[in-house]
Amino acid sequence: MAALSTTLPLNRDSVCSAHKVVKNHVHRTPVVTNQTLSELASTPTTVENLKDTRFAGRTPAKPVLRLWFKCENLQRIGAFKVRGAFYALHKLSEEPGWLEGGGKEKGVVTHSSGGEEKLKIKILLYPVHGNHAQALALAARENGIKAHIVMPEISIPAKINATKGYGANVIFSGSTSVEREAVTEKVVAETGARLVPPYDHPDIMLGQGTLGLELQDQVESSIASQVNPAGQALRGVYAAAANKTKGNKEGLDAIITPCGGGGMLSGVALSCEGTGIKVFGAEPSHQGADDAKRGYESGERIPTVSSLTVADGLRTPVGVHPWSVIFERRLVSGMYSVTDEEILKTMKLVYERMKMVVEPSACVPLAVALFDEDFRSLVEKEAGEEGWDLGLVFSGGNVAVDALGKLLAGEK
């Protein structure tokens, strides 16, 4: 990673600078609309449905929501992580002396983890760091930089092969995080490679934030031209998007992104600074994976998480740098969490209704829009009958397809 002294200030302009670099290497992923899911999100649930939930006894909220999905599951390597990886390597290559000192040959290193030690007995999904490892391997190859990826020996073959397929030097380690980090340090000592962490660095945050800029622009163009991103006239619930009298009249009113380490959430929040678009974070609540929400409410970052939530990309505590944006600068307006059951119910809806392959972590923001009565009440209160145009980030689509059936049948 480039030295912290070389990073740009954490603001919207810097996200725009990052986008100028990143857009040459990644897909401008499509934004997709969906009538059925927008109608579902705009339909109040019943008192009966709330009975056995944390919202028991409430009057169901009546929000009006037009949903706009940013499809980073269709991104290169199947996840948004390439944005941060490409930008991080660009900044590294600009660091004074790095190239001259043989930086490309010394290379970069990261380790792939994320609850994977539990893999043998649990779910067969790529963990978030699997996405980061593949993203780094790809970005390094395209920049002519050597990449070392430290992986537990028990990693699933598909993941090892994918990472090797991008030309990375895969180094095996034991399966605990202590063992992985020891091997990583050894690689750094022996090769001089630079560590590129998955989220806790300003360059990564700015890189991930570029998806927020695209999403804003794509929705604005759609509403202005009254044509949806698939090239058809905006119709049904979306027709009302052009007639708002309050909120952000010409585009999105709010965005929800998943929050694991917080790299994407903080980057997207920066991309919205000064636009009037509210940004919210979404987490799984299972076994305390809602660390950012709890931290946000108590005022103190929670540095460790140990959860086997089905949203395996979000089993990480929020990082120090993201936290400074999310909480200290209040660029995120609120944090919400949903149960694993709600995440899987949402995932099933996405497969059935949108015909999209998404990983469980990617479904968490939509689960908030559909099932979190706190969020839904907020929308009702703030937007009334006009409703909100709400951006939701489908962060990735990397699932081990063999395990999909069990997942979608509600088993973990």
Please select the residue that binds a copy of itself; options are 27, 164, 294, 329, rule is CB under 8 A. 27
Which residues lie below 8 Å from residue 124, measured CB to CB, with a gap of 6+?
156, 400, 402, 403
Q: Under the criterion CB under 8 A, does residue 395 sit at the interface with a copy of itself? A: no
Give start and end residues of each alpha helix (H) in 97-201: 103-106, 128-142, 157-165, 177-191
Please select the residue that binds a copy of itself; options are 311, 358, 364, 367, rule is CB under 8 A. 358
Residue among 78 and 365 whose Cβ is closer to a copy of itself: 78
| Residue whose structure tokens are 């604005």 | 220
Contact letters for a copy of itself, residues 221-260 (x by CB under 8 A):
---------xxx----------------------------
Residue among 100 and 355 whose Cβ is closer to a copy of itself: 355
Tokens found for residue 289: 């994976």
Q: Under the criterion CB under 8 A, does residue 157 sit at the interface with a copy of itself? A: no
Q: CA nearest 112: which of 184, 191, 204, 166?
A: 184
- Bridge partners, residue 69, by sequence: 32, 392
Choose one: 107-115, 199-207, 335-343, 394-402; the region binding a copy of itself (CB under 8 A): 394-402
Residue among 156 and 408 whose Cβ is closer to a copy of itself: 408
For the chain, how many residues are written?
Answer: 412
C-alpha distances in angstroms, 326 versus 110, 125, 286, 314?
Answer: 25, 28, 21, 16
E-only strand ranges, 229-308:
254-258, 278-284
Please select the residue that binds a copy of itself; options are 279, 357, 364, 379, rule is CB under 8 A. 357
- Contact assessment for residue 225 and residue 328, using Cβ atoms and an 8 Å cutoff: no
- DSSP SS3 for 337: strand
- Bridge partners, residue 171, by sequence: 150
Q: Under the criterion CB under 8 A, does residue 51 sit at the interface with a copy of itself? A: no
Choose one: 25-33, 170-178, 182-190, 384-392; the region binding a copy of itself (CB under 8 A): 25-33
Q: Amino acid identity of 199?
A: Y
Q: Under the criterion CB under 8 A, does residue 38 sit at the interface with a copy of itself? A: no
Q: Under the criterion CB under 8 A, does residue 29 sit at the interface with a copy of itself? A: yes
| Whole-angstrom Cα Rg for the chain | 21
Residues between 52 and 111 with contacts to a copy of itself, criterion CB under 8 A: 73-74, 78
Q: Under the criterion CB under 8 A, does residue 165 sit at the interface with a copy of itself? A: no
Q: In whole angstroms, what is the distance from residue 265 CA to residue 87 CA?
A: 17
Q: What minimum distance in Å lies between the beta carbon of 331 and a copy of itself?
A: 29
Tokens found for residue 1: 């990673």
| Residue whose structure tokens are 């031209």 | 225
- Sheet arrangement for strand 254-258: 31-33, 65-71, 388-394, 254-258, 278-284, 334-338
Q: Under the criterion CB under 8 A, does residue 407 sit at the interface with a copy of itself? A: yes
Residue among 121 and 189 whose Cβ is closer to a copy of itself: 121
Q: What minimum distance in Å lies between the beta carbon of 334 and a copy of itself?
A: 29
Choose one: 28-36, 102-110, 304-312, 368-376; the region binding a copy of itself (CB under 8 A): 28-36
Q: Under the criterion CB under 8 A, does residue 40 sit at the interface with a copy of itself? A: no
Residue among 136 and 407 whose Cβ is closer to a copy of itself: 407
Q: CA nearest 152: which of 133, 169, 175?
A: 175
Catalytic residues: 81, 113
Q: What minimum distance in Å lies between the beta carbon of 333 and a copy of itself?
A: 30
Question: Would you list the DSSP string of 9-45?
Answer: PSSHHHHHHHHHHHTTTS----EEE-HHHHHHHTS--
Q: What minimum distance in Å lies between the beta carbon of 124 and a copy of itself?
A: 10
Residue among 28 and 381 whose Cβ is closer to a copy of itself: 28
Q: In whole angstroms, what is the distance from residue 362 CA to residue 122 CA?
A: 19
Q: Under the criterion CB under 8 A, does residue 28 sit at the interface with a copy of itself? A: yes
Applying CB under 8 A, the site for a copy of itself has a residue count of 28
Q: Under the criterion CB under 8 A, does residue 356 sit at the interface with a copy of itself? A: yes
Q: Under the criterion CB under 8 A, does residue 3 sit at the interface with a copy of itself? A: no
Q: Which residues bind a copy of itself (CB under 8 A)?
A: 27-30, 73-74, 78, 230-232, 348, 351-352, 354-358, 397, 401-409
